[in-house]
A and B are shown apart, each in its own frame.
Chain A
Amino acid sequence: MTVVVLFALLFLFIALGLPISLSIGLPAIGLMLTPGVFPAGIQLSALGQTIVQLLFAGVDSFDLLAVPLFMLAGAIMETGGISRQLIDFSDSLVGWVPGGLACACIVASMFFAGISGSAAADTAAIGAVVIPAMIRQGYPPAFAAAVVAAGGSIGVIIPPSIPMVIFGFLTNVSIAKLFAGGMMVGVLFGCSFMTVSIWICMKKGYGLRVRFSLQRICQTLKDAVWALGAPVIVLGGILSGIVTVTEAAALAVFYALLVSMVFNRELKWKDMPALIIRSQITAATILFIIAMAKVFTWLISMKQTTQLVGTAITALGLPPWGLLLLVMAALLVIGCVMETTAALILLVPVLAALTPRMGVDPVQFGVLMVVNLAIGMLTPPVGICLFVSCGISGVPLGEVGRAVMPLVAAAIAALLIACFWPPLTLWLPSLIYR
């Protein structure tokens, strides 16, 4: 009963327009202190103090430190002229295919994904440069915004990835393994987005084509080489075990500063305070959800909901692949209407317990879940990548939402491959962590 009221209030508050962190926190804190929810012997002040301890414990984690740091590194890279270099280099690589700039945008997003851990940052950094350029080349604005949003969603699949940090934090699955697992899925996503873009551009005759030139590749590579060094340092550091994920995030901040200030000279010291404050506040919106959700999920676990859901699922009698499909389909639907961090925190405790019954490895499941929620970032009504690219392009959400559908279909196909072909996610982690 308590759990039903809890969820009903959560959705009511979200529908009424209360921020998600408070929509999660208010009902949980209110119900914790409501007489009758806990046995009469427990003192009110004991429960109140438990709330305070839970809020603290919810974010008192070394792993979560990576969240503000990767946000800051992304923000520095975004202002430091790195997006343009990555786009020029990508354009020289793939600009000669039909829909060249659309493909270049996706490749650049993949490179940027190797620096930033957030899809919104990826969309903003690449979109600000690419959308105006695509419109100048005659691409319809809605298509340009859709491609940028799709490319941006790769930001959380190719490591570093903030949702993977959160998943690892919640389940104790190794974050480094999740990162390694996301690598090839991210590349598969990029390739399927490019295939669909090329197909659409050929069919509709969008865009210009430039000649392939090895000389231009060398030239743009020379400018972009420092920017391309960032993913090498961050991922290389984590996967080789030299630094932890959090330490790598701190190194990424310093490397980003070095590139933006010393090599590109586009960032000034006086820009830094505003950048730091902005990225800390963005990180705090995510962390505040995590803190509030700690109270929420604690209350749920006290009422043995996880076990109840487990029993109900077992009663369905589905084979492992059927259960996996069911969970993935449910996540796609939830991803459409729910913000990523909130969906992760509320669902992971229930779903992680089901992984053995789905016949998948915990690392694979973590990657699948993050990938699935990344698709949710591309689907209206609640999709952060769409919001950002609509903001940049000025195209209404509905139009971009329609234009992005073929790309969403490609993403779902890629997700299915990742579901039923485990080596895609597990081969790289097994290679690195013998």
Chain B
Amino acid sequence: MISILQHISAWINTAVEKLLLVLGGSICLLLFAQVLFRYLGASLGWSEEVSRHLLVAITFLGGTAAYKRMSFIGLKGIGHSLGKSVQRVIVVILQVATLGCFCILVWFGTEYTIKAWEHTSAALQIPMSIPFAVIPISSMVFIVHVVSDMATTFKRSAQ
């Protein structure tokens, strides 16, 4: 069960990282094209909006990948000077709090994404639900990673 969770989490992360490659690459090409077209006298009206929305996607999806790679900026906690069992309790509390936070974001993120269907974006005239969907989706990815981490913590303490 635990190893299945870890597999799912790893598999999702590989997919997310591939997506980041596509998003990052598109932003570069898009902005390069924007400068080029402006100097050719035909400004692209939509490139700025699209690249902004791609940036939002990079932020949240990249956030999940950073969490998975543990490269989020943070201090080493004071917990590990307090002994192993205290440290484990702290880790569990932090994981539960993180889990709660992303559950909230999935709930309200979905709610708002559905609501935003009525609004359309300024340049492309697409429903705002499309760019907003990245928030509930990446929150779900976060939940998978956090649950997989929690399972690992419990497995370690059971051993």
Contacts and interface: CB of A to CB of B under 8 A. Distances in A.
A18 B74 CA distance: 6
B52 A253 contact: no
Contacts, number: 189
Interface string B12-26: 000001001101110
Interface stretch (A104-112, A160-168, A281-289): A281-289
B112 A53 contact: yes
Interface of B: 17, 20-21, 23-25, 27-28, 31-32, 34-35, 48, 51-53, 55-56, 58-63, 65-67, 69, 71-80, 90, 93-94, 97-98, 100-101, 104-105, 107-109, 111-113, 115, 131-132, 135
B62 A280 contact: yes
Interface of B, secondary structure class, is: helix
Nearest to B67: A19
B144 to A, nearest CB: 16
A61 B55 contact: yes
Interface stretch (A64-72, A90-98, A300-308, A324-332): A64-72
Contacts of A247: 31, 34-35
A39 interface: no
A404 interface: no
B62 A288 contact: yes
Contacts of B60: 55, 284, 288, 291
Q: How large is the interface on A (under 10, 10 to 19, 20 to 34, 35 or more residues)?
A: 35 or more
Interface in A269-287: 273, 276-277, 279-285, 287
A243 B35 contact: yes
Contacts of A277: 17, 20-21, 24, 65
Contact of B73 (A19, A61, A72): A19
A19 B20 contact: no
A246 B30 CA distance: 12
A392 interface: no
B55 A287 contact: yes
Nearest to A53: B112
Given A49-B108, A65-B27, A72-B28, 16 more contacts: A14-B74, A15-B75, A17-B74, A18-B94, A48-B107, A56-B56, A56-B132, A59-B56, A60-B56, A62-B51, A65-B55, A280-B24, A282-B71, A283-B58, A287-B62, A288-B63
B140 to A, nearest CB: 14
A25 B101 contact: yes
A314 to B, nearest CB: 34
Contact of A21 (B21, B63, B90): B63
B66 A68 contact: no
Nearest to A282: B71
Contacts of B21: 273, 276-277, 280
Given A22-B72, A254-B28, A17 B77 contact: yes
